[in-house]
Structure 1
Amino acid sequence: MSFSLFLAFFAAAVVLSFERLTYIYVWRRPRAFASRCRRWRLAADPVAGLERLFYLFKVIQILVFAAWIFMFSAGQWPQLAAWPFLSGGIVLILVGQMLNLMTFWRLGRVGIFYGVRFGHEVAWCRQFPFSVFRNPQYLGTVLSIWGLFIAVRFEQPDWLLIPLLQTLYYALGAHFEKDSPRQPGAYVQAEVRATG
Structure 2
Amino acid sequence: MRQTDPDLETALLGPLVADRACGDCTACCTELTVDTPEFAKPAGTPCIHLCDRGCGIHAVRPRICRTWFCAWRRIARLPDDARPDRSGLLVSLNFVSAPQNCLEAVSIHVRMLAGSDAIANGMAAAVLDSVCDQLVPVWFSDGAQKMLMHPDNDVARFVLSGETPPASLQDEVAAWRERYAAFGSRR
User: Normalising TM by the smaller chain, what interval?
Assistant: under 0.3
Question: What is the TM-score normalised by the length of structure 1?
Answer: 0.26
Question: What is the TM-score normalised by the length of structure 2?
Answer: 0.27
Q: State the structure with bigger RCO (CA 8 A, min sep 6), 1 or 2.
A: 1
Greater Rg by CA: 1
In terms of fraction of residues, the more helix-rich structure is 1
In terms of fraction of residues, the more strand-rich structure is 2
